[in-house]
A and B are shown apart, each in its own frame.
Chain A
Amino acid sequence: MKTINTICIIDDDPIFRFGTRKMMENVHLSLDFLIYKNGKEAFDDLLPKLWEDTNLPDVILLDLNMPIMDGWQFLDELVKIPNAERIPIYIVSSSVDRRDIDKAKTYKIVNNYIIKPFSVAKIKDLIEELTKTN
C-alpha cells in the first residue's frame, strides 16, 4: 500500500487542470499538486528534483497535445534520466487515435492511456491502481 501525496499534471488546458485538481481533491484528501502548462516547463522543473531525488510526484498525468514541448517529446527526454522510471506516468489525452494509443505502448515508463474526459470514476480507478501497484 502506497500513499499518494503529490500529483503532477502536465496539460495546457486550464479547464482540465482545474477540473482534475478539484475532482482529485474530492476523491482523495490532502494532495499536493505539481502543475505545468507544457512539457518543457515540467521537464525543466522536474529535472533537478530527479537529480536530487526529492519532492518527486507520485504520479504524472501527461497530456499529448501541448505547445512548446508536447507529451511525446517530454517522454523522450524523460527516459534519458535514470531515476525517472520510478514515477508512474499516465497519458491523459483526448486523442482516440489508434496510432497515439499504440505509440504510448512503446514507452516502458507509460503505465496507461486514459482518454479524456476525466471523471470521478476514472480518478478513483487511477488512485486505486496507484496505491495497489506498490
Chain B
Amino acid sequence: MIKLQPHSGLFSPVDSTIYELFRSKLYDGVWFAEKSQPDIFNISENFKTLLDYKPTDSVAWNDLISPQDLPGFTEQIQNISNTEYTSCTDIRFIHKNGNHLWMQTHIYSKSIPDQIQRYVFIAFKDITDQKNHELKVKRQQLRDNDILNGSGIGTWEYNLITEKVVFNESCAKIIGYTLKELNEKESNFWDNLTHPDDLKRTRHLINEHVTQKSSGFKNEVRVKHKDGHWVWVMDIGKVLSYTEDGQPEWLGGIHYAITERKNGELLVQQYKDLLEDVNEAAEIGIWEVDLKTNQVNCSDEIKKIFGVPLFFDLKLDDVVGFMKEGKSRQKMIDSIKNALEEGENYNIEIEIITVDKKTLWCRAIGISEFNNGECTRYYGFFQNIHDKVIATKELALKEELFRKTFSHAAVGMAVIDLKGSISKVNKSLCNYLGYSNKQLLEKNFDQFSHPLDKDLSDKFIAELLLGKRESFQLDKRYIHKDGSILWGHISVSSVRNEMGRITYFVVQVQDITERKKNELLLINYKDLLERSNAVAKIGSWEIDVNNYNVSWSSSLNTILNTRKDFTPTFFEFIDYFIAEEHRKDAILTVKNALEKGMSFDIQILANANDSDPKWVRMIGISEFEDNHCKRLYGLIQDIDAIKKAQCEIIIKEEQWRTTFNHANVGMSLINFNGEAYKVNPSLSDMFGYTIKEMQSMRIKDISLEEDFEKNIEMMSKLMDGTIENFSQEMRFIHKNGNVIWANVSVSSVKNDFNRFTHMVAQLVDITESKTNEILLKKYKDLLERSNKVAKIGSWELNPENHMLYWSENLKRLLGNKEYKAHNFSDSIIDYVLEENHEKMAYLLNNAMQNGHSFDFELQLKTASGLRWMRMIGISNFKNGICKSVHGLVQDIEEFKSAELEILLREEEFRQTFWHAPIGMVLLDLNGKIARVNPGMCETLGYSEKEMLAINKSELSHPDDLEETNKLTQQLLSGELESFQQEKRYFHKNGNLIWTILSMSSVKNDKGQTTHFVCQVSNITREKLLTESLTEHNNRLQNYAHIVSHNLRSHTGNLSMLLELSEMNHKSGFEDELFEHIKSASNNMCETVNHLSEIVEIQNLIKNTLVPINLRKRVKKSLQNIRTAVSQVNGEVVLKVNKELVIYGISSYVDSVILNILTNAIKYKSPHRLLVIDIRATKIKGYMALSIADNGLGIDLEQHGAKIFGMYKTFHDHKNARGIGLFISKNQIEAMGGSIEVESQPNIGSTFTIYFKDEDN
C-alpha cells in the first residue's frame, strides 16, 4: 500500500533534508520507501501529475517503469547496502498515454544508527527531451556512418603535425583491406599505395590548400588495391582544425572509388581516338550541312575522297555534282530531298567521280533531325567503299560462275563441310541418290556410303586435312534412296578460306554404276567358267527365287550320293545335306545372296547319303536387279578328297614343323641347287644369320674355301645316289667370319620314283669343343716355337748351390752351346758388362734371400757382340726359404735399337721444332694447341705460356676460319693428308699477319689421326709487297687508260679542226707549215692509237681464252696477204696440222700472225724470191707456231734486246714504224704465251710464237 501523505515526522533530520531536497523544484518527483519494505513506495503527487495521473490515483510503481528498465531498477533497490547508498541512472517510465519518459533517477539511502526505520529516497527528473535529442544525434551518427559505409565513401583524418592518419572502414574497403589491417600499417601506408604521379599532385594540392587557405582540395588518384590492381579514388579534403597558433592541425576528407567512372572516361577517350583512326583508315568522313547557307562542313577524309584541296569549301550542290550522272546522282538528289523535306534518313551506295576523273563507289549516310515538319539538323557520314564494292562485285561474279557450273554440271556435285554435312548439292547428285535437294541438305554425306566402303575415303580425307594432297579420286559405292547399290567415281577436293584453312570439301560424283555392274558380272562369269573347266567333280544348281525350289544337275546327285532323280527344295537341301555345324553359315550366306545380291564361294561339310560328311565347295552367284535377286545359281564341287588330304597334311606338317622349329639340333632341308630352302631357328642361330638370310645361303657361302670342293662332292654323291647319307665333323663359316664346327649328318630324301628330291641335314654345334681342341694344339705349337722365335731363353738358379742352369735357347741366344751349369757369379763375369756386375749379383742374391723378383734391361756379351736383353727373375719363395729362382732372358736388341732410334728421331724433331725459323704448332684433335715453338711465338708475339692458353680461333682472321675448319675436318676424315692455306692471323699487337699455313695429320701405327702438325710461315712482308705491287700496277693501268683516253679526245679534236680548216681554206693553207702541223697531228693520233691498243691488251683478262683452230687462223691471215705475196712472187709453205687447237683470242691471233707475215713481206730480201715457211709443233705444253722467212734478217747481237720494244725499227724501210712487234708481243703475252726470234742478217728470220694449248 502506498501512503498518500508522507509524514515528515517519520524521517530523521538527515532524511528529512534529503526528502526536502528531492521534493524541491529541482526534481520532478520523488519516491520513498522503508528499507525493510522496498517494494512499497510512496510516490509524490507531482510525479503522478508528470505521468498524467491524478494525485489521488493510487498507482503501482512497478507498472510505471518501462519493462526494459524494471529488472535493473528492482535489482538496484534490493541491492542497496546497509551503508550509505547513492546512484544515478536514466530510467524510462510509461506515461499514461503510453509514451515513454526518460527520468534521471537518483537513489539515496543512508543508515543512521539511532534511527530504527531506514528509508530509501528516489528523486526523478524528466530528461526526456535531452535524452531524445541525444539519441537522435546518436542515431544520426550511426545512420551517417551507415550511409558512408554503405555508399563506400571512406573518410579520413590526417594530423598534419603528428602525421597520424585515421581511416574508416570504407576507406579500407575501397582498396581491399579491412580497417584493422589498415590501422596496423604504418602511417604513411596510404601514401605508399598511391601512384607516385598522383601522390605528387595530391601533396601539391594539399600544400596549396593549406598555404592559400582555399576551401579545399580535390584530386583523382590511383591507389594500389590489395589484389595489386590500381583503383581510381576521388580524394577530397580540407583542413578541419587549426592549432592555437593558427597552424593547420587536422586535415580531413573523404575517399570514394571512381575507378569505373575513370575507366569509362579513359575508354571513351580511347574509343574517340580509335574512331578517328578508324575513320581515317576506313576513309569515313563526317559532314554536316549548314541549313541556312547550304554550306557542307565536311571532314578532311571526304575532301580527300573527292580529291579536292583541304581548304576547299563545298556547297551541297557541289557535292551532288560529284555524283556520277544518272542513277547515282538521281539517288543522291532524291535522298537529300527526302531528308530535308520528310526527315528521312538514308544509307545509300553511290558512284562518284573524283576531281581526277576516277570513279569510286562510296556510301553516303544521311541523318536528318526533324522537328515540327522542319529539318533542324542534317548531317551524316561518307565512306569510300570502292575497293570493297569492287571486290564484292568480282566475288559475286565468281560465285555466280561457280554456282552455274555447280548446278548445271552433269556430274553430281556437293559441297560438304569437314564433318560431312551437305551444305550445297546440285541436281545431278539429287537424281543420282534419289533424294530431293531439300532432303539432301539435311543429311550427312557419309550416310549414303555403302557400309563396306564407308572407310575407303577416310585416309584420303585425313591427308586432305593435313594438306598432304589437294584432292583425291576413287571408286566407291553408295546406296540409292530405294536401297540399290550405286557405284560412283568420286573426286574430292578441299577448299581453303582466306586464312589458308580448309573450310569445306567439294565432292564430285560420277555415276559409274552401270559400268561397275558389268565389270562385276564379267568377273563372275569368267570366274565361273574357269572353275567349271578346271575341276571335274562339279554339279550346278539354281534356286528359284519365287518358290525356293532347287534345280540341280545330275552330277550333284552323284556327289551327294542321292537318288538320280532327286531334287530337294531349298530348305530340304539345307536341312538334309548341310552338316549341322555349317548350316547356320550356309543359310546366312544364301540369305545374303537373295536379299543383298552377295555372291559367295564357301567350303562346307555336306551330308552325303549313307556315308560320312564330305567337303564340298559351294559357289553361288546372285543376279541382283532393282534391289531384288532375280536369279541365284551356282556350283557345288566335291572337294572332299582334297580337303581331307589338306587337313591331314596340315596336321602332319604341323607336327613336323614343331619338331623342326624347336629341335636343339640345327636342321635344314636342302634342295637340288644346294639351297637350304627350309631351316630351323637352331640352325640359323648356329650360323648367326636370320632364317630368311639362311635360306638364301648356298653351301659355298658357308663353306671354308678349302672345304668347298669336298662338301660339293659329298652332296653330289648324295644326289646321284652313290651314298644314302653321311655323318662327319665339318667346318663352316659363321656370319661373323668365325669358323664353326658341327657334327653333320645328311641324308637324301627320295620320292616315290626313287628320285632325289632334297636332303635333310642335321647339325650339332661342336664348335666350342673343337675350338678348344684346336686352341690347345695351337698353344702347344706356339709355345714350342715361341722361345725360338721370340728369342727367349730360360734359366734356373739353385739357391742351395748357386748353380745356374741354362735352357737350350739361352745357350743359343748367348752363343755358347757348350755351356755347363756352374756358379752364377762366373756367368755374370762372363756375360754381363762390368758396370752391371754389382747390380746383377745384388738382384740375384736379393731374389734368393728375400724372395724379390726382378725385371730389367741390360746389355749382355754374346758371341755376336753386345746385345740388349731383358732379364726377368722370379723367386719361388715359400715360408721364408727360397726354393728356386728361375727366369727368362729375352733378346730385345731390335726393340731396343728401334726405341733408341725413335728417341733420336724425337730429339731431331724436337730440335727442328724448337729451332725452326717458321712457326710450328702441334694441335690435338680438338684443335687445342699442345705444343708451340719459339718461331710461332715470335710470329704472333705471344709467349709460349700465353700461346698454350689462348683460344686458337681468336688468333685467326675470322674470314679465314671457315676455310681452315673445313680443311681440318677433311684432314680428320682422312680425305686429305695435309693442306696449305693462305691465312691471316692477328699479332698480339693487333697487326694482321699473312701466313702460309701447312697442316698435316700425324697418325699412329693403327692409322688413326692422333694430332696435327701446323707449320706457319710468315709471308706478311711478301704479301704487303705483292699488295702494293698490285696496287701500283692498277694505278699504272688506270693512268695509262686515262692518258690514252684523254689524249685521244684532244688529238681527235685537233685532227678534226685541221680537217675543217683545210676544207674551209683550201687555197690559203698550202704552205709548208700547215703540212707540218697536219703531219704532227697525224703522228700524234697514231701514237695515241697505239698507246690505247696496248692499254687495251693489258686490260684483257686471261680467262677469256677460247679454243681456236690454229690452221684456220693462219689460213685467214694468208688470205689477207695473198695479193701482196703474189706481187712479189713469193711462196708460202704451210705445215700446220688441221686438228691443232690453241687457247687464245682469235682477233689477237690473227693480228699477230698477220703482223709477222707482213713483216716478212715488208723486209724481204731484194736478192731472193720470198719463201715463208709456217709450221707448228707441240713443245713443253705449248703450241709453237714458227714462221720463217728468207728475208733481210735482223742483227740480233746488235738489236736483240730491243727487237720487241716500242718504236724500234731495224731497217731503213719507209714503212717501218717499230710498233707492230711491240703490240704483237703484248698480245701474245696477254694470251699467256711468248714469242721468240732467231735471225741472221741476210739469211732470214724465224719467229716462234708459243700459244697456250689445251693441256695448259
Chain A positions within 8 Å of B, measured between CB atoms, are: 13, 15-16, 19-20, 22-23, 26, 65, 94-99, 116-120
Contacts and interface: CB of A to CB of B under 8 A. Distances in A.
Interface string B1051-1073: 11111110110011000000000
Interface in B918-933: none
B684 interface: no
B337 interface: no
B1043 to A, nearest CB: 12
A31 to B, nearest CB: 16
B1048 A96 contact: yes
A26 B1045 CA distance: 28
Interface in B1033-1059: 1041, 1044-1045, 1048-1049, 1051-1057, 1059
B1092 A117 contact: no
Interface in B677-720: none
Contact of A19 (B1060, B1085, B1096, B1099): B1060
Contacts of B1044: 96
B1056 A118 contact: yes
B475 interface: no
A86 B907 CA distance: 85
A39 B890 CA distance: 99
Contacts of A95: 1045, 1048
Contacts, number: 63
Contacts of B1089: 96
Nearest to B1147: A98
B1093 interface: yes
Nearest to B1091: A96
A16 B1048 CA distance: 12
Contacts of B1053: 13, 15-16, 19, 116-117
A16 B1099 contact: no
Contacts of A99: 1099
- The 3 A-B residue pairs whose C-beta atoms are closest, nearest first, are A117-B1052, A116-B1052, A94-B1049
B1048 A116 contact: yes
Contacts of A26: 1060, 1063-1064
Contacts of B1041: 97
Contact of A119 (B1048, B1056, B1064): B1056
Contact of B1059 (A15, A65, A116, A120): A120
Nearest to B1093: A96
A94 B1056 contact: no
Given A19-B1060, A117-B1085, A120-B1063, A94 B1055 contact: no
Contact of A94 (B1052, B1057, B1063): B1052
Nearest to A116: B1052
Nearest to A95: B1045
A22 B1096 contact: no
B1060 A117 contact: no
In which size bucket is the chain B interface? 20 to 34
B1048 A15 contact: no
5 contacts: A26-B1060, A26-B1063, A94-B1045, A96-B1093, A119-B1056
Given A96-B1044, A116-B1052, 16 more contacts: A13-B1049, A16-B1049, A19-B1053, A22-B1060, A22-B1064, A26-B1063, A26-B1064, A94-B1052, A95-B1045, A96-B1048, A97-B1096, A98-B1100, A116-B1048, A116-B1053, A117-B1056, A118-B1052
Interface of B is mostly: helix
A99 B1051 CA distance: 22
Contacts of B1055: 117, 119
B1048 A94 contact: yes
A65 B1045 CA distance: 10
A127 to B, nearest CB: 15
Nearest to B1085: A117
B416 to A, nearest CB: 53
Contacts of A16: 1049, 1052-1053, 1056
A98 B1089 CA distance: 13
A119 B1058 CA distance: 10
A97 B1093 CA distance: 9
Contacts of A15: 1053, 1056-1057
A73 to B, nearest CB: 18
Given A98-B1099, A120-B1063, A23 B1048 contact: no
A94 B1085 CA distance: 11
Contacts of B1059: 23, 119-120
A116 B1049 contact: yes
B1066 to A, nearest CB: 12
A96 B1049 CA distance: 11
A19 B1048 contact: no
B1056 A96 contact: no
Interface string B399-412: 00000000000000
Contact of A98 (B1048, B1051, B1052, B1096): B1096
- B1045, B1056, B1099 pick with most chain A CB within 10 angstroms: B1056
Contacts of B1093: 96
Contacts of B1049: 13, 16, 94, 116
Contacts of A97: 1041, 1045, 1096, 1099
A21 to B, nearest CB: 10
A99 B1099 CA distance: 10
Contacts of A119: 1055-1056, 1059
Contacts of A116: 1048-1049, 1052-1053, 1056
B533 to A, nearest CB: 79
